[in-house]
Structure 1
Amino acid sequence: MPLPKAELHLHIEGTLEPELAFALAERNGVTLPYATTEELREAYRFSDLQSFLDLYYALMAVLRTPEDFTALADAYLERAAAQGVRHAEIFFDPQAHTARGVSMGTVVEGLAAALDRAEERYGISTRLIMCFLRDESAASALATLEAAKPYLDRITGVGLDSAEVGHPPAKFREVYEEAARLGLRRVAHAGEEGPAEYVREALDVLGVERIDHGLRCMEDPELVERLARERVPLTLCPLSNVRLRVIDELGRHPLREMLDAGLLVTVNSDDPAYFGGYVGDNYAAVREALSLSQEQVRVLARHSFEAAFLDDDEPRRARYLAEVETYTF
């Protein structure tokens, strides 16, 4: 049985495996620019974040109906359960869908159909986080939040993703202020390709409660001390960092140093279909590459539940934490 864990940094569109992409393309009459699943999988080799994003957005063309989004989420949940996930906080990118004529309702209702039965079918509790594309305008983000208002009973929080460089968090101050007014939880990608200052800005300007990635905080000792003191969770994605050339090789990942600095770091999979592994694969990879002890791995799992948006269900959080503490490697 795998170590129980929560996954807090997972883009549902990034779980689109080649086999499902081809199945949905056939169902929806979409022609993919690849002849076989093997050829498509070969395309999952990236030189940087932008080269990944180009393919990532292109493949979304196969997602058209609520049933497509349900199938996508079900496929992820089945894989996640097999790797020990007990709680998943799932990102989705509505602007990438509404821009091509797919409505907010189609996306949310399709995902919700899978998430509503996730606990019964897979033993996984879930939360849904709507992300704004930072390379789109602030006005577009505000319009997206407005379009989401009929569905806020299904949406726990907002996030900020896509191309980071040149798009500082402060650009989205207004939409985050409105999200806070609506009672939504707030997270943001920062400090992946962007500088450590983006992490500070996400905290101080956007009022985020978690930082997604945040690797480059290690370039700023004062910021590291603050993150440790305030127990700000960081949702690291090690295999993603290697695949997108954020770091050269997994053995040079700063995760161990971040743990030693007292940071509340978690391990996640980001876009696992594209980056070579789901969350359990990430745990196994960093344990081997960084020679982590069993207790350090247990700490990572403990952190994942501590950082989860389970404030409305503390008995569940306590139950998950107990599973981690009694787990036998």
Structure 2
Amino acid sequence: MYRFSFIKIYHESSSSRCILVRSLFYLFVRGGDRREPLQYPVTKPVIPSTKPVIPSTNPAVNIYVVSLGLPLIFCELSSGDREAIKRIAYEFVEDKAKEGVIYVEVRYSPHFLANTDVEPIPWNQKEGDLSPDEVVCLVNQGLAEGEKAFNIIARSILCCMRHMPSWSKDVVELCKKYKKDGVVAIDLAGDESLNCEAYPGHRMAYEEAERCGVHRTVHAGEVGPASVVKEAVEVLKAERIGHGYNILEDQVLYKQLLEQNMHFEVCPISSKLTGACDPDFTKHPVITFRKDKANYSLNTDDPLIFNSTLHLDYSTAQNYMGFTEEEFKRLNINSANSSFLPEKEKKDLINKLYEAYGMVENTGF
């Protein structure tokens, strides 16, 4: 989840240290749980091993597994458990505050945590009485309590899943219902080979989202080709792209999106561990994004699975990709500008970043 506060954090390397206040877009509840066992009663038996999942050598398999959350221990453990869901949301905000994050948009699939009003019921659960609607309420409550306790801004994005187009109509309705209660956007995640032509339920959900003013982001071009990004932008009317690394395969589309100031949600650590990008960080697509002054953010993806933190993603960019303190500032300000906050709240967030960085607004990047 996300939080809002002026906690500052140090990135250390052999040559420099930079103090940065961060914003964070890309982090899944299902993989955002703490690594230690749950510290409160749950209604299901605790699974003994919480070690990070070791990725397959097949990138497509990794993305499918990670996106669907199939191996995610705490998602299965907490499904249908009201106390667990709310507590995980609250603790997520606490953890992000400790990492120096001042604003976060966390994404999750409410259907994965429900055991009624969802077909099929996930994780082979017996039917219960926790609906996707109530899941959203519980996450909203946990985030809101975390905001107050840790003085950060936390918002959420609800995910459609590519393999479950029948859920997408419900997802957009939940986005509409809770638009004023912390839900800021709709997302589409999962196996990128499942396109919208074959699964029109996603397209219809995104059309409704656009009609009703619900913000839109899409996982695209992570392991799928640039054509998936093209579909996300042209068919689903995405305002941001999750990952988007393979956009570089289509230079015409890439230049078009640069001109449109499209925002890319980049996750360095996960992109290596899933095999989405070359394991040599010096060849990562985000280096091209940086050189081209693209609009992008650095984020942590599924920290429980990948045993990662936002600090690790930032330090990796600094130590292996040549990122400087000035570039971190630039990308964080771009992140704030591309957030899904209402305009007044967005302006306040941007001003806080300028203040924290000791900068004058509109100095120009």
| Structure 1 length-normalised TM | 0.88
Aligned to 1:273: 304
Structure 1 stretch 152-161 or stretch 166-175: which is displaced more?
Answer: 166-175
Q: Where in structure 1 are there 5+ consecutive unaligned residues?
A: none
1:75 to 91, 102, 112: 91
- The answer to whether structure 1 residue 158 and structure 2 residue 186 are counterparts is yes
- The answer to whether structure 1 residue 116 and structure 2 residue 133 are counterparts is no
- The answer to whether structure 1 residue 313 and structure 2 residue 345 are counterparts is yes
Distance 1:176 1:93 in 2: 16
SS of 1:130's partner is strand
Distance 1:238 1:15 in 2: 16
Give 1:324 shift: 5.0
Distance 2:75 2:147 in 1: 27
Residue type of the alignment partner of 1:106: E
1:66 to 82, 97, 101: 82
SS of 2:86's partner is helix
Residue type of the alignment partner of 1:89: E
Give 1:208 shift: 1.2
Distance 1:168 1:5 in 2: 34
Aligned to 1:89: 105
Distance 2:184 2:295 in 1: 21
Residue type of the alignment partner of 1:198: V
Correspondence 1:285-300 to 2 at 5 A: 285-300=316-331
Correspondence 1:129-144 to 2 at 5 A: 129-137=157-165, 139-144=166-171
| Structure 2 length-normalised TM | 0.80
Check conservation: 2:176, 2:212, Cα contact below 8 A. Answer: no
Give 1:287 shift: 1.0
Correspondence 1:1-329 to 2 at 5 A: 1-2=8-9, 3-20=20-37, 22-23=38-39, 27-32=42-47, 35=48, 39-41=49-51, 43-47=52-56, 48-52=62-66, 53=68, 55-57=70-72, 59-63=74-78, 64-98=80-114, 99-100=121-122, 101=128, 102-137=130-165, 139-146=166-173, 150-154=177-181, 155-168=183-196, 171=200, 172-249=202-279, 250-310=281-341, 311-326=343-358
Q: Deviations over 1:110-140 (max 9, x none)?
A: 2112221333322211222111011112x33
Give 1:192 shift: 0.4
Structure richer in helix, relative to its length: 1
SS of 1:90's partner is strand
Distance 2:74 2:146 in 1: 25
CA pair 211-166 structure 1, distance change in 2 beyond 3 A = same
Check conservation: 1:158, 1:186, Cα contact below 8 A. Answer: yes
SS of 2:297's partner is strand
Give 1:167 shift: 3.1
CA pair 205-323 structure 1, distance change in 2 beyond 3 A = same
Give 1:168 shift: 4.3
SS of 2:31's partner is helix
Residue type of the alignment partner of 2:50: L
RMSD: 2.2
Check conservation: 1:127, 1:156, Cα contact below 8 A. Answer: yes
CA pair 148-254 structure 1, distance change in 2 beyond 3 A = closer
Structure 1 stretch 117-126 or stretch 238-247: which is displaced more?
Answer: 117-126
The size of the alignment, in residue pairs, is 318
Distance 2:36 2:44 in 1: 15
- Identity between Structure 1 and Structure 2 (%): 25
Q: Where in structure 2 are there 5+ consecutive unaligned residues?
A: 1-7, 10-19, 57-61, 115-120, 123-127, 360-365
